[in-house]
Structure 1
Amino acid sequence: MSDPPRLRVLEALRHRDFRLLWTGQTISQIGDAAFVVALGWRAFSLTGKASSLGIVLMVEAIGLVTTLLIGGVLADRYSRKLLLIGSDGARAVVIAALALVDASGHLTFGVLIAFVALHGLGSGLFQPAFGGILPLLVDDPSLGSANALVGISRQSAFVVGPAIAGLIYGVAGSSVIFAVDAASFVVSAVFVAFAHPRLHERAPSEGLRRELTTGLRYVVKVPWLWITIGTFSLVLLVGYAAFQVLLPKLVEDAWGGGVGAYGLLFTLQGVGMVIGSVVLGQTSPKRRRGVLIYTLFVANSAFGALIGLSPWYGGAALLQIGRGFCIGFAITLWDTMLMQRVPQQMLSRVISMDWFGSLGLLPAGLGIWAALSGLAAPGTLIAVSSAVCAGLFALGLSDRRIRSVD
Structure 2
Amino acid sequence: MADSATRTPRRRSGPRLSLEPLRSRDYRLLFVAESVSVFGDAFHAVALPWLVYQVGGGARELGLLVAVYGLCRLATTPLGGILADRVGPWHVMLVSDLGRLVFTAAIAVVAVAGDPDLVLIGALVVGTGLGAGLFQPAAYAITPRLLPADQLAAGNALHSTAGFAAGLVGPGVAGLLVVALSPGVAFGVDALTFAVSAVCLGAIGMHHRRVAPVARPADGAPPPPRSTFWQLLRGSPLLRTVLAVTAAANLTVGGMIRVGLPSLASADLAAGAGGFGGLLAAFTGGSLAGGFFTAGLARLRRRGATAMLSGLVMAAAVALVPFAGYAGAVVALAVAGVASTVTNVLIITVVQQHTAAHLLGRVMSAILFAALGLFPLSGVAAGLVVDAYGSGVLFLATAATLGAAFSVGLSRRALREG
Settle same-fold status: TM greater than 0.5: yes
Deviations 1:277-307 (A, max 9, x none): 2222222253332222122223223433444
CA contact (8 A) 2:16 2:293 kept: no
Q: Which amino acid aligns with 2:408?
A: G
Structure 2 match to 1:201: 212
Q: Secondary structure at the match of 1:9?
A: coil
Aligned partners of 2:289, 2:310: CA distance in 1, in Å? Answer: 14
What is the alpha-carbon root mean square deviation over aligned residues? 3.7
Structure 2 residue aligned with 1:300? 314
Distance of aligned partners of 1:397 and 1:121 in 2 relative to their CA distance in 1, 3 Å threshold: same
Q: How many residues align?
A: 389
Question: 2-side partners of 1:310 and 1:167: how far apart?
Answer: 34
Structure 1, residues 306-349: CA drift from partner, whole Å, max 9, x if none? 4455652x444333322221122222212222221111111111
In the alignment, what sits opposite 1:154? 163
Matched residue type, 2:258 = Q
Pick the structure with greater CA Rg.
2
Query: Which among 387, 401, 405 is matched to residue 389 of structure 1?
Result: 401
Tell me the amino acid that sits aligned with residue 317 of structure 1. Answer: V
- Provide the residue aligned with 1:224 in structure 2: 238
CA separation of 1:364 and 1:212: change in aligned 2, threshold 3 A:
farther
Deviation for aligned residue 1:162 = 3.3
The answer on whether the counterparts of 2:248 and 2:402 sit within 8 Å (CA) in structure 1 is no
Aligned to 1:87: 96
Distance 1:310 1:175 in 2: 43
Instruction: Map 1:224-373 onto structure 2 (within 5 A).
Output: 224-248=238-262, 250-251=264-265, 255-258=270-273, 265-308=279-322, 311-312=325-326, 314-369=327-382, 372=384
Q: TM-score, normalised by structure 2?
A: 0.78
- Partner deviation per Cα, 1:116-164 (whole Å, 9 max, x = no partner): 4433321221122111111222233332332222122112212222332
Give, in whole Å, the separation in 2 of the partners of 1:194 and 1:140. Answer: 23
- The equivalent of 1:207 in structure 2 is none
Q: Does 1:121 find its partner at 2:130?
A: yes
Gapped runs of 5+ residues in structure 2? 1-14, 216-224
Amino acid at match of 1:391: G
> In structure 2, how many angstroms separate the alpha carbons of the residues matched to 1:242 and 1:57?
18
Change (3 A) 1:113 1:367: farther
Equivalent residue number for residue 208 of structure 1: none
Tell me if structure 1 keeps the 8 A contact 2:245–2:406: no
* Identity within the alignment, %: 28
1:306, 1:97 → 2: CA distance?
46
| Matched letter for residue 239 of structure 1 | V
Judged with a 3 Å threshold, the aligned counterparts in structure 2 of structure 1 residues 403 and 21 are, in CA distance, closer, same or farther, namely closer
Answer whether contact 1:57 1:363 (CA < 8 A) is retained: no
Gaps of 5+ in 1: 1-5, 205-210
What amino acid is aligned across from residue 212 of structure 2 in structure 1? E
| 2:382–2:394 contact (8 Å) kept in structure 1 | no
Q: CA deviation at 1:240?
A: 1.4
